[in-house]
A and B are shown apart, each in its own frame.
Chain A
């Protein structure tokens, strides 16, 4: 009989090591470098958000195994970690497309017609906001103000900023995303 805590299964760290050895070592090295205090759960929790930031930077998202490794290393429960991941919109536990297209829906961009850009992208990509295309290429998301309001409406593709976007520019933006 398997136990509900999955203790008989392969350890998360071992599994991650097997699947993604380099990324996993990078993450564990980062955690080992944190000034954690053994036994001081309260203080150690203070490093959770930056650890998740780093982990998502390394893996692209936060799969269960990564959550498990973080939970073991920081001495926090998995539910606590999931609670934090689900609270902050920056974190995701689902793999997302290679090209993260984020339309700014801050006030300045909204007033200047950002909704039309979202509609155009939805139609062109065939996905809804918050979804990734089937070929894992594009993720369509929304952001609230990237601070470039003078260029409103703004679309960000990974770290590239497009300003003064019109629905006509959507084709070009997608065409720029070539691997």
Chain B
């Protein structure tokens, strides 16, 4: 069925919402990680239970990520009045009890999880609720494979409103007024980018969605694409109308097969209903979207590299200007926006710029989705208003540090960002404040580190990543980062000196100033920020040849303490024969022979071997 007017769409929606089934929905989170955690078995158990006679009471719905990744498999029971109960760590065995308990009862043995978010479009903020979901408004709530579910939550109404009631210029202006800033990293005002492209002469233009999500440890774009693909399609169509494009491309990484499948289904459904294709909403506006796949290159997330990759070339960045909005894909004006940026657009059009600005800070309105990972209890996705403090995110929503260890640092901005320490936990974060404390927003990955992480080793990890991913086009990045990596390796192996630390800093600044694209320009940030915040840890490595966190194996020393009963097990297993001693008397390790493999410590049953 094709929809040709806004009225017809609203009609269709009220018919969808009007049919009351009287059933409680069981939302089953079946994103990539839900599936990996065993979500499919839980879903089978639910369906089996419904077949046994509960199908009049319940309806099973597959949804995307709810953000509660730490307690997958997760399910939510939700009735038509919106009352809900969320269960985490669900096992197939718990299903009968949970369904018997329903919304009001208690299921013995099952874990209930509190909802920590509200929906600014629909509800007032309840006190103490930290999350505000705008970009994630539908993920985890709707079946991403059913367009009707999206339409029930006002889907495609923003597109209808734009095509039927707004001039293209007014659309860019509305997005500019809302001060929506790019969520892909740099925070450039989206409305301005649209205006640039719109100002180019009429003709072929392109609307691109950057779904390359390269920051290792960030997965919000995947969650949106898997859980709410239509929101991205709708926003791309809105942008295309604003700039005068008739072709859209989603550049998606090949590592996300489920997201690709969901997008393909969504595109097909949108075409069938006339939201994509020729004469959208019965107007003369044509727009269609196709998918292009990445092939495992981080630098392809950079917009000029991404464009080259779509053109079938090596994904090497080129110097800007010209900006893609002026000269992009096949040399035509092109807008590149990030998935999460798009996910905000329809809500802004429906509710208006002023509403959007009521959330967040004055310089950075709206929300940001963060992917919490690393040494934190509640790994998952959180969407918070800009200006929320790190403490609220890490200790409030994240549930604090794993195993009650001490918090050491959090890395934001991925390999381009920096680490933030205890002293800045109470800074309200937005684009500017993050920069001022030596990090950056980036895509929103937040990796939490505890006392057991060695910051020198972390910096070395990021440089290893950069060296791997450098496209090799310019020398500062190709050679400079390799040198940084080698210096950091030296330090981790105990071969660094105080001069090495000086050189690290100097070279970092040179690379920052001279590299061609954002990858190289930001790659020394992890080095500089760990140098600034954890200088004493670097000093321990070079002066005392000691790794305070006990991570850099070359600096460790294995010794045998008085717990040793002389069983000889360690000596038997040592690959280099470094351990000697008489039976039933304390053994010793010959430090010259020891290669620090750690086998002896694993084997000893008496905690007699220390690693320091």
Contacts and interface: CB of A to CB of B under 8 A. Distances in A.
B379 interface: yes
B311 interface: yes
Interface string B247-259: 0000000111100
A109 B217 CA distance: 8
A148 B36 contact: yes
Contacts of A146: 32, 255
B194 interface: no
A145 B216 CA distance: 5
Given A45-B313, A49-B292, A147 B32 contact: yes
A69 interface: no
A147 B315 contact: no
B375 interface: yes
B297 A88 contact: yes
Contacts of A47: 312
Interface in A118-167: 143-152, 154, 159, 161, 163
A174 to B, nearest CB: 19
Given A147-B222, A150-B72, A163-B37, A46 B213 contact: no
Contact of A87 (B37, B314, B373, B374): B314
B32 to A, nearest CB: 6
Contact of A108 (B217, B256, B296, B314): B217
Given A88-B295, A144-B298, A107 B311 contact: no
Contacts of A53: 254, 293, 295
Contacts of B216: 104-109, 144-145
Contact of B36 (A48, A143, A144, A151): A151
A110 B463 CA distance: 13
Contacts, number: 134
A139 to B, nearest CB: 15
A83 B292 contact: no
Interface in B250-300: 254-257, 292-298
A150 to B, nearest CB: 3
A61 interface: no
B523 to A, nearest CB: 14
Contacts of A46: 292, 310-312
Interface string B427-464: 00000000000000000010111000100001001100
A84 B313 contact: yes
A108 B375 CA distance: 8
Contact of B309 (A43, A49, A144, A149): A49
B414 interface: yes
B379 A52 contact: no
B522 to A, nearest CB: 15
A43 B336 CA distance: 19
Nearest to B315: A87
Given A46-B311, A150-B373, A108 B447 contact: yes
A42 B307 CA distance: 13
Contacts of B310: 46
B465 interface: yes
A1 B309 CA distance: 40
A42 B296 contact: no
Contacts of A105: 216
A150 B295 contact: no
B33 A148 contact: yes
A107 B411 contact: yes
Given A49-B312, A53-B295, A107 B379 contact: no
A149 B313 contact: no
B461 A107 contact: yes
B294 to A, nearest CB: 8
A49 B379 contact: no
A89 interface: yes
Most buried by A among B69, B72, B447: B447
Interface string A32-74: 0000000000111111111011000000000000000000000
A147 B411 contact: no
Contacts of B294: 88, 90
B373 A108 contact: yes
Contacts of A159: 257
A49 B219 contact: no
Nearest to B448: A111
B432 to A, nearest CB: 24
Contacts of A42: 311, 330
A23 interface: no
Nearest to B68: A150
B526 to A, nearest CB: 10
Given A107-B461, A147-B32, A87 B297 contact: yes
Interface in A76-118: 83-84, 87-91, 104-112
A143 B298 CA distance: 11
B298 A151 contact: no
13 contacts: A88-B295, A107-B216, A107-B373, A107-B415, A107-B447, A108-B216, A108-B373, A143-B255, A145-B219, A147-B33, A147-B213, A149-B371, A152-B379
The 7 tightest CB contacts between A and B, nearest first, are A106-B216, A150-B69, A88-B295, A45-B312, A108-B373, A145-B216, A90-B296
Given A84-B312, A146-B255, 12 more contacts: A46-B310, A46-B312, A84-B314, A88-B296, A107-B411, A111-B453, A145-B216, A149-B33, A150-B33, A150-B69, A150-B70, A151-B37
